[in-house]
Structure 1
Amino acid sequence: MFQTFEESASPEQGPPRLAALRDVMKTQALDGFLVPRADAHQGEYVSERDARLAWLTGFTGSAGWCVVLADRAAVFADGRYTVQVRAQVAEVFEKVDWPETSLADWIGGALPHGRIGFDPWLLTVDQLRALRDKCPDVTFVPCENLVDAIWEDQPEAPAAPVFAQPVELAGEAHDDKIARLASGLGAEAALITLPDSIAWLLNIRGADIPRNPVPHGFAVLHGAATVTLYMADAKLADLGDHLGPRVRIRPPEALVDDLSALDGPVQIDPTTCPVILAEALSGTPVEAPDPGLLPKAVKNAAELDGTRAAHLRDAAAMVRFLAWLDGQAPGSLTEIDVVKRLEAERRGTNALRDISFETISGSGPNGAIVHYRVTEKTNRRVGDGELLLVDSGGQYVDGTTDITRTIAIGQPGAEERTAFTRVLQGMIAVSRLRFPRGLAGRDVDPFARAALWQAGLDYGHGTGHGVGAYLSVHEGPARIARTGTVPLEAGMILSNEPGFYREGAFGIRIENLIAVREAPALPGQTVKALLEFETLTWVPIDTRLVDADLLTAPERDWLNAYHAEVLARVGPQVDDVAGAWLALACKPV
């Protein structure tokens, strides 16, 4: 299997490792040390070698920080991990709601004066700037990573082989991408640090990051439409002549010296560029977004076609899984049984390259843990009368999928049905939305929450994230969230996943992937240009959890039309047993 279930961290490890870190801090004359959940490339996912936050504190969430002082230590986690951080992290660490309380605010109150060390490969230009601006009396000192100094069995850095992504699936030759991006630079060159940006630009993929088909490396895009790629030769051995003459290969250890020797202004993205690389430049850098960030997010026709094919294939696997699940007696399965069966169905497509993230299989109270990861320790039976939340996805060579379904096990309760229906109303509202070009995710986000707000309910995560084309399942820069300020453009793929979570009882989330597209003009339309969403995910929604009396006529029509389309698209892809189940699951409400 791709997924494993061992406990990778525990609260017991925190106190002795914290003590060891403080001993090293004393030898460096430091009053504190910063431990981000980050690597030098600032991607969301990190390799085992870079999982320093989890190793030190026990917290395994995909975003967070730890600040260690001589007499206090705190773990910062956002609303997705409120329950998880309390369960995983020992009492010696304070738990801080972040970003409601920023690192700088906490440090300013805990250490008005002093010296705090940080690894300059792991802090970005923007992060350090914010800390220095808000804590003027604290000196932030670049130093060797002190966690590495005490981590005796730290894994080796990943070195997976790199392979080419066929142009038939990429939709554009990498030479053309290089020329297109180089023509828009506002400097002589641009430093690219994000692995998925490099993978997209050069039409390559890798396996250095779990669940995300990207290689570790750095690149410099030059104004003359060439690229210098900083990656070990051994990783590139299988590429043959794919990269071609526009791409020059250099060893990663040459990067800092090479940057210092560059002539003319160099563009960096301050939100992702490590401090050490920005400071290596001989002149003042030009600050601008990663040049590949937006072009990568706006998929071309080939990428969209591939994504549609991947979703249809994945939908058939999901339907086979759901049909099997419905045939099991309540209480007979564990959360791990669910994960294993779902992965087996995806593997049965003979096209699965990896899962796109660790499958979330949360029954009852575990469903209320937004990013729950089942382990042998937390595994529980899926009980009668409970909800089962399954959030999962696959990495296929033609596309990346991400889907959440909440399933009734036995007879659902009235509170669960009401909450589920309100979540569904939010998902439908986004799916049906038409909106003027130029609006951003923050403008769309309230439509997903309105039905919940009417009942005094809400959820603590964004409504949607960008998704790559056989790349990272979480992709910027667009998102549907209060923080989503990037205008939505035709070709962007996003998730649509409102939810509701009753801590200690149940969790609900319904997720489809959607693509932004041009909306047909309406009679009498006065808005110059409208956009809408194309649904990409075709899997039944559990109507046993729907209170049809809460639905408006348009909402009911959308749900019934969606299920009719699911049956038409997926029915021919499954066998008679799954097909019979699908027909019942898609009956109109």
Structure 2
Amino acid sequence: MFQSFDAPTSPEQGPPRLAALRAELAKEGLDGFLVPRADAHQGEYVAPCDDRLAWLTGFSGSAGFCAALRDIAGVFVDGRYRVQVKDQTADVFTPVDWPEVKLGDWLVEQLPDGGTVALDPWLHTLGEIETLQTRLSGTGIALKETGNLVDRIWPDQPPRPAEPVTQFPKEFAGKGDETKRAEIAEALRAAAQRAAILTLPDSICWLLNIRGQDIPRNPITHAFAILHDDGRVELFSDPAKFAGLGPDPAITLRGWDAFEAALAGLTGPVRVDKDSAPLAVTRVLEQAEVAIVYDRDPCILPKACKTEAEINATRTAHLRDAAAMCEFLAWLDVEAPKGQLTEISVAQKLEGFRRATNALKDISFDTISAVGPNAALPHYRVSHASNLPVTTGELLLVDSGGQYQDGTTDITRTMAIGTPKPEHVQCFTRVLQGMIAISMLRWPRGLAGRDLDALARFPLWKAGLDYDHGTGHGVGVYLCVHEGPARLSKISQVPLEPGMILSNEPGYYREGAFGIRIENLIVVQEAPALPGGDPKREMFDFETITWVPIDRSLIDTGALSAEERAWVNDYHAEVKAKVSGRVSPETKAWLDRATAPI
């Protein structure tokens, strides 16, 4: 599916839709309703039928929620979206800085005399609601689990997606699904658990070595599953999606409407992830008096720690993608000075280079092609309404990626159009220093993303600067480009383990002026021993797997240390060695210039 550049939502539709929702509140005697971004699978990206937050408010970001009360409707967004939410929503909605402002605190302030706030238990997790209930205890504010009030007022709500499912090759997975099922089942038996409830589509796709098309850019299929301690799987979805797969006696396929009855018929203890499973799952099990053990989805960590086959496949995908990126950057170098390009034409051309590989399944997310002030929005999505020309003297930020059957890519490069301004160079260099710090890092086993995140920010902090997003996220293998549980972030407590693929993407954004981000993908690996090092202390480091030049015109080489300059030159030398044989003669000549030593 080619990227669309239509405006994702229309702010003017917000007021009548909010009025309709408030009419439902009055009819039911409620004081509010919670409208999350998430669907029943807690996905970051949702199908059109589940995009209730955007339909109601106009806000199209990938994280956030609305608390619609009778007199105020707060739209809670984090630092990535605080400019975007103002642009996309009508003034009947009030932006709220989240997570600095917690939902519970906000509700207490807005409902001082108490009240009843409704929610759809299929769209919230138990962990989320427990936290909220703890804060609301004793305030007179009650939470009520109901049907979905937005669905009642959405007359043309699209149907649930039902796209076909395909098999994921074992040669790329490294393990057959029977092996994965047996290993997870063994872990359940060791924990004395009879079954695990799986509600995350990428966990189910990973476990069964399948891929789908229910969500644009993410090759997943919507389903729920019950994995039993003998390796059997009960799968709940639209059976027609699986018609192209052969039968498997260990996998039973049923319709969506059979899920609740199957839950109620289980013998516990049953494992439920309270941070990803819908609250409704817990309620069904509780009503049936099935014993529950709350623990993490058993597929998440094995999925994150890639097999050698998955890493090798992903390396190949990244080399293919690097060649496409270099063709694009060489083209940009020629065409941008002519003054005829726009954000949209840049995104279209880049997608064309990826499709020219004849291996692209889809882009891995809508390309962020942003120039000047638009680049100051970290998750900007260009539309015909917002499209800016690419003009001399500006910075162009392009964050993009590809979905190939052998791997998922995600890369950001920021380029100067013409001669960069001094502030561009100063800020870019600090961002680059942070990216290099992560790239060169060694650390002892047991550290999490929160322990590493500050190193990427330190060069910016020294100048009183920072950025309001994490430094990196997990990445799947022909799965979701944003994958848990590990990430490089102030709030991530998951220890990093070998095989995890992460992004390394510090940035800096000056509202109304420009934005900078540089992103490579990296793999956690065991670090080689060093002379004089403690042989008993296991150390990890990162392997970089993204091979595309960094704009040298934006680097203040005098501000780099000798070690940082060496990293840039070594990186560019390896880019040239790996990619030169994969590009056209014209691009090879460009690549020679782009990778020259600094």
TM surpasses 0.5? yes
1:314 lines up with 2:321 in the alignment: yes
Could you tell me how far 1:329 is from its partner in structure 2?
A: 4.1
| 1:546 corresponds to | 555
Distance 1:107 1:377 in 2: 35
Q: What is the CA distance between 1:13 and its match in structure 2?
A: 1.2
- Select the residue among 279, 283, 292 that pairs with 2:299: 292
Is residue 2:175 matched to residue 1:172?
yes
* 2:485 equivalent among 477, 486, 508: 477
Q: Which residue pairs with 1:152 in the alignment? A: 155
Tell me what 2:136 maps to. Answer: 135
Q: Deviation digits for residues 399-454 of structure 1, max 9, x if unmatched? A: 00000000000110000000000000000000000110111111111110111111
Shift of 1:533: 0.2
Determine which of 559, 567, 576 is the counterpart of 1:567.
576
Q: 1:272 aligns with which of 276, 279, 294?
A: 276
Alignment of 1:508-523 (within 5 A): 508-523=516-531
CA distance in 2, matches of 1:72, 1:576: 60
2:438 pairs with one of 427, 430, 439: 430
Pairs aligned (count):
587
Counterpart for residue 581 of structure 1: 590
Residue type at the aligned position of 1:376: H
| Residues 272-326 of structure 1: per-residue CA shift (max 9 Å, x gap) | 1111111111234110000000000000011000000000000000000000000
Q: Structure 2 vs 1, CA of residues 511 and 329 (structure 1 numbering), >3 Å: closer, same or farther?
A: closer
Match of 2:73 in 1: 73
Tell me which residue corresponds to 1:252.
Answer: 256
Check conservation: 1:132, 1:138, Cα contact below 8 A: no
- The alpha carbon displacement at 1:10 in A equals 2.3
User: How far, CA to CA, are the matches of 2:336 and 2:411 in structure 1?
Assistant: 24
Matches within 5 A, 1:79-90: 79-90=79-90
Distance 1:233 1:154 in 2: 22
Q: CA deviation at 1:128?
A: 1.2
Q: Is the alpha carbon distance of 1:116 and 1:329 closer, same or farther for their aligned partners in structure 2, counting shifts above 3 Å?
A: closer
Tell me how large the CA RMSD over aligned residues is.
0.8
**1:196 and 2:196 aligned:** no
* Aligned mate of 2:344, from 336, 344, 352: 336
SS across alignment from 2:244: helix
User: Runs ≥4 in structure 1, deviation > 4 angstroms?
Assistant: none
Q: Give unpaired runs (5+ residues) of structure 2.
A: none
Map residues 37-436 of structure 1 onto 2, 5 A cutoff: 37-112=37-112, 113-136=114-137, 137-185=140-188, 186=191, 187-241=193-247, 244-281=248-285, 282-330=289-337, 331-436=339-444
Please list every run of 5 or more consecutive structure 1 residues that lacks an aligned counterpart in the other structure.
none
Per-residue deviation, 1:328: 1.0
Q: Conserved in 1, the CA contact under 8 Å of 2:336 and 2:391?
A: no
Deviations 1:368-391 (A, max 9, x none): 000000000000101110000000
SS at match of 2:335: coil
Is this contact kept in 1: 2:194–2:268, CA < 8 A?
Answer: yes
Q: What is the rounded CA distance, in whole Å, between the counterparts of 1:566 and 1:480 in structure 2?
A: 24
Q: Distance in 2 between matches of 1:275 and 1:443?
A: 31
- One-letter amino acid of the structure 1 residue matched with residue 172 of structure 2: L
**Any conservation in 1 of the 2:267–2:291 contact (CA below 8 Å)?**
no
2 CA distance for matches of 1:231 and 1:10?
32
CA contact (8 A) 2:268 2:291 kept: no
Contact 2:268 2:292 in 1 (8 A): no
Contact 2:470 2:490 in 1 (8 A): yes
Write the deviation string for residues 242-280 of structure 1: whole angstroms up to 9, x where unpaired. xx2221112111111110111121110000111111111
TM-score (norm 1): 0.99
Q: Which residue of 2 aligns with 1:28?
A: 28
CA distance in 2, matches of 1:284, 1:536: 45
Q: 2:239 and 2:506 mapped to 1: Cα distance? A: 44
For residues 103 and 203 of structure 1, the distance between their equivalents in structure 2, rounded to whole angstroms, comes to 38
Q: Counterparts of 1:500 and 1:416 in 2: how far apart (Å)?
A: 10
- Does the 8 Å contact 1:317/1:346 carry over to 2? yes
User: Percent identical across equivalent pairs?
Assistant: 59
Matched residue, 1:8: 8
